[in-house]
Amino acid sequence: SSELTQDPAVSVALGQTVRITCQGDSLRNYYASWYQQKPGQAPVLVIYGENNRPSGIPDRFSGSNSGITASLTISGAQAEDEAVYYCNSRHSTVKHVVFGGGTKLTVL
């Protein structure tokens, strides 16, 4: 089982705002990073660190962290945002890296 917990599925109406959350003890000390994965494709980094977007990622993607919860917010979700989203952070004790179980986002 993952040591970062994500809701398995979330849906959002086209153009509306959605927040995807990630919870875990390691988030007290480390920021979460977020990845988007579409079927048959490799994951793509969308948010890293405190709230940084790699080049080419639309500014409708943003991240935040509070206590043991990290959030990925998509403001004005588009059809192309439908994907599985994973969070990750550095493990708080033994492991190097840990991933959340993933959240499947459906855009209605």
Partner 1 sequence: EVQLLESGGDLVQPGGSLRLSCEASGFTFSRFAMSWVRQAPGKGLEWVSAISAPGGSTYYADSVKGRFTISRDNSKNTLYLQMNSLRVEDTAVYHCAREGLVVPAAVYFDYWGQGTLVTVSS
Q: Which is nearer to partner 1, 24 or 100 (by Cβ)?
A: 100
The answer to whether 47 touches 33, Cβ cutoff 8 Å, is yes
Q: Which pairing describes strands 44-47 and 33-37: parallel, antiparallel, or unpaired?
A: antiparallel
Part in contact with partner 1 (CB under 8 A); list of ranges 10-18, 42-50, 72-80: 42-50
Exposed, middle or buried by CB within 10 Å (0-12, 13-18, 19+), for 88? buried
- The partner residues of 11 in beta bridges, in order of sequence, read 106
46-85 positions binding partner 1, by CB under 8 A: 48-50, 52, 54, 84
Q: Which is nearer to partner 1, 29 or 78 (by Cβ)?
A: 29
* Cα 102 to Cα 55: distance, rounded to the nearest angstrom: 23
Would you give the end-to-end CA distance of the chain in angstroms? 29
Part in contact with partner 1 (CB under 8 A); list of ranges 12-20, 74-82, 91-99: 91-99
Contact status: 10 vs partner 1 (CB under 8 A): no
- Applying CB under 8 A, the residues found at the interface with partner 1 are 2, 29-31, 33, 35, 37, 41-45, 48-50, 52, 54, 84, 86, 88-90, 94-102
